[in-house]
Amino acid sequence: MAKKEFTYRGKSAKELQSMSTDEVIMLLPSRLRRNFRRGFTEQQKTLLKKLEKASSIKTHCRDMMVLPLMFNKTINVHNGKEFVPVLVTEEMMGHVLGEFALSRKRVGHNAPGIGATRSSASVSVR
């Protein structure tokens, strides 16, 4: 079975990469369009400059929108404790980097801890 070619709002990945930033922004959801109209922050501008030079960089800028110039690059996004490597693909268009570096872990409870009441300590772990 052949893999379906990626399109974002009717545009292929190559078409998106050849478009100017202003034209790409008009295709994004309203929240990201409003964010762009306010202008990039200094942190976001620095990230864009670094992306032109290197293919793998580290950033704390979790609110940066995924743009076509980021496709097929690895961006290490900080989750509050460590940098999580995120390989940016075409399907991530229309999202922000922070969505792909989760900042909270799932809690896995297994047994009563220190200071638990007597009744909860006697409950079977199974």
- Does residue 89 belong to any structural domain of this protein? yes
Instruction: Please give the residue that has the higher pLDDT: either 122 or 26.
Output: 26
Residues 77-84: what's their mean pLDDT?
A: 95
Instruction: For residue 77, list its beta bridge partners.
Output: 59, 84
Query: What pLDDT, in 10s, does the model give residues 21-78?
Result: 889 989 988 999 998 899 999 999 999 999 988 878 999 999 999 999 999 999 999 9
- Does residue 99 belong to any structural domain of this protein? yes
> Quick one: 77 exposed, middle or buried, by C-beta within 10 A (0-12, 13-18, 19+)?
buried
Average pLDDT score over the chain: 87
Is the Cβ–Cβ distance between 13 and 90 less than 8 Å?
A: yes
Domain limits for position 82: 7-104
- What CATH number did the domain enclosing 73 receive? 3.30.860.10
- Does residue 111 belong to any structural domain of this protein? no
- Does residue 16 belong to any structural domain of this protein? yes
**Rounded-to-integer distance, Cα 11 and Cα 35, Å:** 22
Provide the domain count of the chain: 1
**Rounded-to-integer distance, Cα 79 and Cα 75, Å:** 12
**Rounded-to-integer distance, Cα 11 and Cα 48, Å:** 22
pLDDT confidence of 3, banded at 50, 70, 90? Answer: confident
- Does residue 114 belong to any structural domain of this protein? no
